Amino acid sequence: MKDIESVALDNSVKNSRSTLQPGDQLVITVSAKDLDVVKPFNQNYSSTATTAQYSAASGNAQFQPMPVSGPMYVVDTDGNIDFPQIGVVSTKDENVESFKSKLIGLISTYVKEPIIDIKLTNFKVSVLGEVVKPGTYVIPDGHTTLLQTLGLAGDLTPYGLRNNILIVRNVDGKFTQDRVDITSAQFINSPYYYLKQNDMVYVQPNANKEKLTRVDPNTGLYISVASIIASIALGVLALTRN
């Protein structure tokens, strides 16, 4: 019987592996000791994809475009790719690592000890609501936690609720949503600790921010106009006294 720590670790590892989804862009290269043997598996090698590389130079989070060279495969609506020499290969219920093992098994029929590299170039998540820099972020290695992603978005604003963050997830065309409390010690065991492809994170505002949003947006204008009118009235009153 496993202890609590082992179960928690197993769950954490399982949740960290994002399954491949329709629309995912995979750059797959095959190599071996004899490069001539693997050429048929690297058709259209001149094709390139552009992913993004995170840098934190000078304390500013930035993403810089980075070309990724290799054959590009897009997972179709049925969860398949068409691979040279092998044909249609299903990615259903596979993550990058398991799909790599699957391809190694298939290519080993033709090539001795093949080496396969797979890059998921369009892994992205969106962060909205009460964060400093809301937007959509491309994750270069396709592996990120909710906390890391919130860090990329500049962390929560003072108005953001840390105990009620909404995660919207799309898996095989089915949308799910749940709320998480990142201040809880149990958060590490949550299926939302690791984010998956196309997750949407929404940080809800607290009561103070909601009160501010209910204030008439023209209040500042009204105050300015009132101040001008008061100034004019005082000027007129001063003239009449003279």
Exposed, middle or buried by CB within 10 Å (0-12, 13-18, 19+), for 103? buried
| 82 and 155 both lie in a single domain | no
* Domain of residue 196, residue span: 124-213
Confidence check: pLDDT of 96 > 70:
yes
| 109 and 158 both lie in a single domain | no
Percent of the chain past pLDDT 70, that is, above it, reads: 69
Is residue 220 included in any domain, yes or no? no
Which run of H or of E encompasses 166? strand 160-171
| 90 and 27 both lie in a single domain | yes
Which of these three, 120, 141, 159, is where a domain ends?
120
| 130 and 205 both lie in a single domain | yes
Is residue 226 included in any domain, yes or no? no
| 134 and 87 both lie in a single domain | no
CATH code for the domain of 147: 3.10.560.10
Give pLDDT tens digits for 181-237. 999 988 988 999 999 988 999 999 988 766 666 655 565 555 565 666 666 665 555
Query: Terminus-to-terminus CA distance in the chain, angstroms?
Result: 97
Cα 174 from chain centroid?
18
**Into how many domains does the chain fold?**
2
> Full-prediction pTM beyond 0.75?
no
CATH code for the domain of 38: 3.30.1950.10
Q: Work out the angle at residue 175's Cα, subtended by the Cα atoms of residues 173 and 181, and round it to the nearest 5 degrees.
A: 145
| 96 and 116 both lie in a single domain | yes
Give pLDDT tens digits for 43-92. 765 444 544 444 333 334 444 445 667 889 999 999 999 999 999 999 99
In angstroms, the Cα distances linking 197 to 27, 82, 105, 240 are 16, 21, 26, 73
Q: How far apart are CA 212 and CA 175, in angstroms?
A: 32
| 204 and 142 both lie in a single domain | yes
Is residue 30 included in any domain, yes or no? yes
pLDDT score for 208: 77
